[in-house]
Structure 1
């Protein structure tokens, strides 16, 4: 994942790559896709990655659930950063 990229943009790019590979005959299990996405996240996401790894059975975690969890985390992270910036402006 690129530092400036959103989860939706990253998932779209990932899906395009996987679909291209599948067209060439390379297929991935759902669990392999989940692990590849988790490994591709930048360091500011490591807390969330660790939480998911400890709380979920990654061999059975659907992509939709992972994406939903990551999108929720991204929204909360963005909100916290925005609140911090707003607080600095008031000070």
Structure 2
């Protein structure tokens, strides 16, 4: 997922149109799949998106992705043991 986010950010920067930080943040949040809806809602409610740096958003999303992968791996490990 982070590669996709990085690709989106890089693509936005290559366009001739310049985007404000808020526009980049919103584009990334809108581009996430539905399984990320809970995280998107949490970010929108907890953060002032007008002041949220793109790097902070990506860091938060990376952390969430790592936690999702860990939970998935833990679930698979438990199923194998059963």
TM-score (norm 2): 0.94
**Aligned-partner SS, 2:48:** coil
Tell me the matched-pair count.
82
What does residue 5 of structure 2 align with? Answer: 11
Equivalent residue, structure 1, for 2:30: 39
Length-normalised TM-score, structure 1 = 0.86
Q: Distance in 1 between matches of 2:45 and 2:58?
A: 17
Please give the residue correspondences for 1:1-91 in structure 2 after superposition, counting only pairs within 5 Å. Answer: 6-7=1-2, 9-21=3-15, 24=16, 26-91=17-82
Unaligned residue ranges in structure 2 (runs of 5+): none
Write the distance in 2 (CA, Å) between the matches of 1:84 and 1:47.
20
Q: CA RMSD in A?
A: 0.9
1:22-66: CA deviations, max 9, x gaps?
xx3x11000000000000000110110000000001111000110
